[in-house]
Homo-oligomer: A and B are copies of this chain.
Amino acid sequence: GGVDKGVDFANYFCTYGFLYHQKEMLCDRVRMDAYYNSIFQNKEHFHGKTVLDVGTGSGILAIWSAQAGAKKVYAVEATKMSEHARELVKANNLQDVVEVIEGSMEDITLPEKVDVIISEWMGYFLLRESMFDSVICARDRWLKPTGMMYPSHARMWVAPIRSGLGDQKMSDYESCMDDWYNFAKETKTYYGVDMSVLTKPFGEEQKKYYLQTSIWNNLHPHQVIGVPCIIKEMDCLTATVSEIRDVQAAFSSSITTDLTRLCGFAGWFDVHFRGSKENPARHEIELTTAPSEENGTHWGQQVFLLQPSLRVRKGDDLIVSFSMSRSKENHRLMEVELGCEIREASGVHHPRFTKRFSIE
């Protein structure tokens, strides 16, 4: 409700119209292996079945579904990428099985209900892009009561981390402010205008940009300094929009690394392909975007920086509150509030602090 389609296209869909962008996803081996294995190691979920691919992009998941034996695959794509998908389907000789439909999932009509909904709908930190809304809409309209979701489950994780990013961003911010002071001085000298009243709003704008916007990063596992916590679990068969619109969690995490610095928190997700209760997967597949030495993904992790960082030691407890909601200006972006209290193993309790971030 209330979303201007043209604006949504300008802000969101437009990038998906480029093969370059689709290729980036198709080159993510962790992502590709997970979907590929989930389909081909559970062929019986596809064999002779009708499948709906929500947001087919290049058509890859629809093609795999057909190759695994689906009777019919509806491949829905909002952008002109649908034309490339249609070509790809034909070139792989699956035009009798895969029907590419250009349109937004919310608007189009299928001739029948389906056995399986497959979709790669996950954005940064799972929910950015809010594309799962479209999957829910598809599910409620087009999935048979006995149908199943691919993936079937999703989880969001948060963990305390150390990172050099905070100091780097802080120094970027500071040199940007130095620039500003210089600019303000010169503008006064050469052009007779006093800019100092804009120093505060400029500083706020830049602070928001450098320090209050989460940062994409593929962290090394060693950078995780405490116990990762699940802040949200979702059954894709039953999840509702109201359940994902606001995500709130309170948890505590113990520091597991000795004498280190708490530089912020990282958020990531995993999804599982488990089939359904009646038809569990023969081979359960996991797709995780957790920090990993070898298996980084294009999703990476979202880093929420604390600046300055705080000294912590093994055994300290972090009492954390996390809340994420959609940005008022753009429902596909998020606002996060993170509260944290450090309880040292020594017994000392530090005062609670709260920080706000945007996921852009």
Question: What is the interface of chain A, defined by CB distance below 8 A to chain B?
Answer: 4, 6-7, 9-11, 18-20, 23, 26-27, 32, 36, 58, 60, 63-64, 67, 84, 87-88, 90-92, 180, 183, 187, 190-198, 201-202, 205-206, 209
A87-B197 in contact (CB<8A): yes
Least CB separation from A11: chain B residue: B10
Residues of B within 8 A of A36 (CB): 190-191
Q: From A192, which residue of chain B is reached at the shortest CB distance?
A: B67
> In the assembly, what is the distance between CA of A11 and CA of B11, in Å?
8
Q: Given A26-B183, A84-B198, do A92 and B193 touch, yes or no (CB 8 Å)?
A: yes
- Whether the Cβ atoms of B58 and A88 lie closer than 8 Å is no
16 contacts between A and B (CB under 8 A): A4-B4, A4-B7, A6-B7, A7-B9, A7-B10, A20-B202, A20-B206, A27-B183, A58-B198, A64-B192, A84-B201, A87-B197, A90-B197, A91-B197, A92-B193, A92-B194
Q: How far is the CB of A314 from chain B (nearest CB, A)?
A: 41
Q: How far apart are the CA atoms of A10 and B32 in the complex, in Å?
A: 33
* CB-defined contacts of A7 to chain B, threshold 8 Å: 4, 6-7, 9-10
Inter-chain contact A88/B10, CB cutoff 8 Å: no
CA distance A197 to B18 in the complex (A): 15
A193 contacts B84, C-beta separation under 8 Å: no
Residue of B whose beta carbon sits closest to that of A205: B19
With CB as the reference atom, state the residue of chain B lying closest to A7: B6
Cβ 8 A contact of A88, one of B6, B26, B88, B195? B195
Seed contacts A36-B191, A90-B197, A91-B194; 5 additional CB < 8 Å A-B pairs:
A6-B7, A10-B10, A20-B209, A88-B193, A91-B196
- What B residues does A4 contact at CB under 8 A? 4, 6-7
- Do the beta carbons of B20 and A198 come within 8 Å of each other? no
Which residues of the partner chain B approach A64 to less than 8 Å between Cβ atoms?
Answer: 191-193
Pairwise interchain contact A193-B60, C-beta atoms closer than 8 A: yes
B-side contacts of A196, CB under 8 Å: 91
Residues of B within 8 A of A198 (CB): 19, 58, 84, 87-88
* A91 to B, closest residue via Cβ: B197
Question: How far, in angstroms, from A27 to B191 measured CA to CA in the complex?
Answer: 11
Asked if B26 and A205 make an inter-chain contact with CB atoms under 8 angstroms apart, the answer reads no
Inside 8 A of A58's CB, which chain B residues have their CB? 198
A103 to chain B, nearest CB (A): 19
